[in-house]
Amino acid sequence: MGRLENEARTAMTVLLKQGHSQSAVARMLGVSEGTVRYHRRRSAAGAVDGRTTQVGKAAAVAEAIAHWRNQQPAGRVNLAALHDWLKREHGYDGSLKSVQRYWKRTFPAPAIRARRRVETPMGAQAQVDWAEYPDMVIGRETVDLVALVVTLSWSRKRAVVWARSKDMLSWQSCQTACLQRLGGVPAVLRIDNVKTALSRGAGAWGTINETYRRFAAQLRFHVDACQPRHPQGKGKVERTVRDQREAVDPRGQVFDSLEDLQVWTDARLEERARHLRCPATGTSVAEAWEQERQLLTPLPATLPEPFDIVVRRPVGLDCMVHFEGRQYSVPFRFVRQEIEVRGLAGRVQMLKDCAVIAEHPRGTDMLILRNEAHYEGEDTERVRAPMPLGRMGRRLQEIAAAKVQHRSLDLYARLAEVAR
């Protein structure tokens, strides 16, 4: 006898109560008249479908299923993986359907939470994400590249800047270059939980690392990290990254340099901005961006150089600061004060109250780097200038300044005279 689903049995009961004949009900439900008679007799006798009362094989491993469920992270579960685990670890010989029916009866799905659609106002937010492009041909070299994609949330105007790595220097320099292309800085940058932004934690509870915090403060934007495993929180740029691969995809092409690739990308993005529609206005993205850029914060006249580390260090009485295993001099007037030290690409920069007070080469073989001008100058109310060099000190400096092969023996003679 044919089996009827719950909805069909309910419909059959209603139709029969309305006075329809068994043959008419059979035609409407697309089953045989015998099937209708069978289920009508079972219903009159108070019987229920057998499957609804079957315990099923999965019930025999209920404890194992409960244990497996407790080990899973929050979110959707893979019942096929559970079925494989039961067969492997517990010798289960039932079907996947049996496991699915048991799970559905025992662990009802939680209520679905609706999402609020939010459209950010002009100038309020941009979303940031990396896109990876392996095996790109630049010149005669095959390299792995990354592209930082920044999308203004209101106008959907985007900027893309290429780099060779995702390190802190690239993270900052690419953001600066993107914001230059967008014509200003939005109030908030919504980012992923990347190590170049967060020192620990994630999302709203994460801690922004000091280097990126200083960078954001200089460009005057707020950092908003996405909730982990929540791509909808950054949906505009996630879709942009997918669109970037489809519509502005340089893979398969050969570029002479990274600069040529950047020029090609900028031109393609400008062209697409003229043709794509902005959901907020119905106009082109380019037209909407012209409105939005008026509300972006202007970039500083002097853009901050990217730095991958920033620390605070005290200045010793000898006018030296310790950083990365080396000592660097600063002007004497900053003795016994705390200053900010930044590691830039090839340089170390010292700042006090956001003003640069000294710079030295970074990563040299020398462990002590001094600038003699830092020990010269007039006294201040707080610090007196170092004593001038004596005759011995001056002679030693003369010898040190001359290359060994060009040093006159007279230098050493004069040094000996001073020593007497």
Q: Is the pLDDT of residue 1 over 50?
A: no
131 class by beta-carbon count within 10 Å (0-12 exposed, 13-18 middle, 19+ buried): middle
pLDDT score at 162: 95
Using a pLDDT cut of 90, give the percent of the chain over it: 43
Residue type, 266: D
Q: What is the pLDDT of residues 243-253, one digit of tens each?
A: 555 567 888 88
- 76-85, 129-138, 227-236 — most confident range: 129-138
Cross-strand partners of 389: none
Q: What would be the CATH architecture of the domain defined by 125-295? A: 2-Layer Sandwich (3.30)
Q: Is the pLDDT of residue 292 over 50?
A: yes
Spatial CB neighbours of 397, under 8 Å, sequence gap ≥ 6: 372, 389
Neighbours of 102 (CB within 10 A): 21
pLDDT score at 2: 53
Q: What is the pLDDT of residues 88-137, one digit of tens each?
A: 989 999 889 888 888 888 888 777 788 887 788 999 999 999 999 998 99
**CB-side neighbour CA atoms (13 Å) of 184:** 17
**Across the chain, what does the average pLDDT equal?**
84
* Gyration radius from the chain CA atoms: 36
Record the pTM: 0.61
Q: Is the pLDDT of residue 265 over 90?
A: yes
Stretch 344-365: mean pLDDT: 90
pLDDT score at 345: 85
| CA gap 342, 215 in Å, rounded | 11
Please tell me the CATH code under which domain 6-52 is placed: 1.10.10
The overall longest dimension of the chain from CA atoms, in Å, is 133
Q: Same CATH topology for 6-52 and 125-295?
A: no
Domain ranges of the chain: 6-52, 54-106, 125-295, 307-388
Q: Confidence class of residue 14 from pLDDT cuts 50, 70 and 90?
A: confident
Give the residue, 126 or 52, on which the prediction is more confident: 126
Minimum mean pLDDT range among 191-200, 271-280, 391-400: 391-400
